[in-house]
Amino acid sequence: MENEKNEGIKEFGTTRLSDKKSGSGIELFTIIGEIEGHEVLSGSTKATKYEHLLPKLAQAEEDEDVEGILILLNTLGGDVEAGLAIAEMIASLSKPTVSLVLGGSHSIGGPLAVSADYSFIVPTGTMTIHPVRSTGMFIGVIQSYRNMEKTQDRIIRFIAEHSKISQERLMELMLDPTQLVKDVGTMLEGEEAVREGLIDEVGGVRHAFEKLREMIREEKNNDMKSK
């Protein structure tokens, strides 16, 4: 069993935690490094592979022993489509979910951080909000610009729907020319991310576990009342 846990952490960044305090089964997911999409990143790059994470999330949803999910994030961002796919998957889970931003959750890490039912960020954690950028070949025609604009709208809409920040304020932060050198966007530290309504609360792993246990207890009580 211990070998299986170690292998799960090594290969997929996931593991089942035995929560003696609440008697709950909590599944831990990590989103670390760059979000890898359809193109394979170099072997020296820390990456989260969406083709690994999506099946594990589906498995957790169907596993009766899993009663809550904790997601730890420390990512620079990465592939937009893959990141949004993971975020939509997390947001659609029926089980209580809590996210915790550690070092940072930048770029497409924003939707990932807010996709959980409740979100935390450590005091020194950071989040960078900026417009969608292109990588690789970019055809400089109006159609390409519109496609990027539509992708950006999807990200803004998702973040606004899963947090307390408005779409208008999010756009302001994305287009701020004063914060990033030779670029537009905004970097928010822990308290700032909470004040802007992007993240629910400043806290660490202890607070994340306490909140998740509370949510699991509430769900169990609601299930008992409905029977």
Question: How sure is the predictor about 139, in pLDDT bands with cuts at 50, 70 and 90?
Answer: very low
Question: How sure is the predictor about 88, in pLDDT bands with cuts at 50, 70 and 90?
Answer: very high
Between 131 and 2, the higher pLDDT residue: 131
The reported pLDDT for the residue numbered 68 is 94
The reported pLDDT for the residue numbered 182 is 67
Quote the longest CA-to-CA distance of the chain.
Answer: 59
Over residues 57-67, the mean pLDDT reads 92
Q: What is the DSSP letter of 75?
A: E
How far apart are alpha carbons 106 and 50 in whole angstroms? 17
- 114 close to 159: Cβ distance less than 8 angstroms: yes
Say which residue the tokens 């409740």 belong to: 118
Which range, 22-26, 151-155, 219-223, has the best average confidence (pLDDT)?
Answer: 151-155
pLDDT, one tens digit per residue, over 144-203 is: 556 777 888 889 999 999 999 999 999 999 888 887 766 788 899 999 999 999 999 999
CA distances from 121 to 48, 95, 111 (A): 20, 21, 14
Over residues 9-14, the mean pLDDT reads 53
The reported pLDDT for the residue numbered 149 is 78
- Catalytic residues, by residue number, are 107, 130
Percent of the chain residues past pLDDT 70, beyond the cut:
77
The reported pLDDT for the residue numbered 111 is 93
**pLDDT > 70? residue 80:** yes
DSSP one-letter string for 16-61: EEEETTTTEEEEEEEEEEEEE-SSPPPTTS-EEEHHHHHHHHHHHH
The reported pLDDT for the residue numbered 14 is 62
Question: How sure is the predictor about 141, in pLDDT bands with cuts at 50, 70 and 90?
Answer: very low
Kindly calculate the radius of gyration of the chain based on its CA atoms and give it in whole angstroms: 18
The reported pLDDT for the residue numbered 125 is 95
**pLDDT > 60? residue 44:** yes
pLDDT, one tens digit per residue, over 95-134 is: 999 999 998 998 889 999 999 999 999 999 999 988 876 5
